[in-house]
Amino acid sequence: MMRTLLKILQGVGVVLGVTFVLVMASPFLPFSGAVQSFTVRSGSMEPAIPTGSLIFVRPTEVYTLGDIITINTDDGKTVTHRIIETVHTDMGIAFRTKGDNNEDPDPVEVMPVDIIGKTYLTLPYIGYPVAYAQTRTGFLVLIIFPAVLIVLGELVSIAREARRLLRKRSEEKSGDQALAKNVVFVPRPPRVTPPPRSTPVAPPRRIV
């Protein structure tokens, strides 16, 4: 049970850690324009973007109908809605936006200067924990604590494997000693060297 819980916590820590690193590194990713990440805190874009999603936004040169864009509002907030119409005003081209889950379009037309960028990546339900991880307490709870668990888990695995190897070597050594005790050495009999053979001598011939 504890091992399963430890694996679950390790997996959650890895996912949050990778996501946190991705968020922190997003301004340095090899894309044109500055990449920014935002947490979606309302359901105005559901089901396309669920509440609590983490979105990545980057500016583009051209925005078209159907693009999901993030904009700065007059009250200093950010809104992520879809472009539903392009309109021409005295100040130039503007966009009318609307949340997919809203009945009415947004009351204010969006000028290109107010657009932060276009949404190109959405990670559902990751926004809240990532936003929490950016706080001091959240960083300790969601990043440091799982990282410590991962390190401890690896150390436990290494110690368990080391004990297994030591036990195996000890068993092999004990087996060799037991085998040595059961072996009876039988002395070989001394080698007997046969006597040298005598060469027969022919009798002398008699001369008549």
pLDDT at 130: 73
pTM higher than the cut 0.75:
no
8-state DSSP, 102: -
pLDDT at 206: 59
Residue 147's alpha-carbon distances to 9, 108, 158, in angstroms, are 10, 46, 17
Pick from 41, 75, 33, 73: which is nearest to 57 by CA? 33
Q: Report, as an integer, the average pLDDT of 34-57.
A: 90
pLDDT beyond 50 at 60: yes
Predicted confidence (pLDDT) per residue in 171-192, tens digit: 777 766 666 666 555 666 667 6
Q: Which residues contact 31 (CB under 8 A, 6 or more apart)?
A: 58
Return the domain boundaries, the chain.
2-149
Domain 2-149: CATH class, spelled out: mainly beta
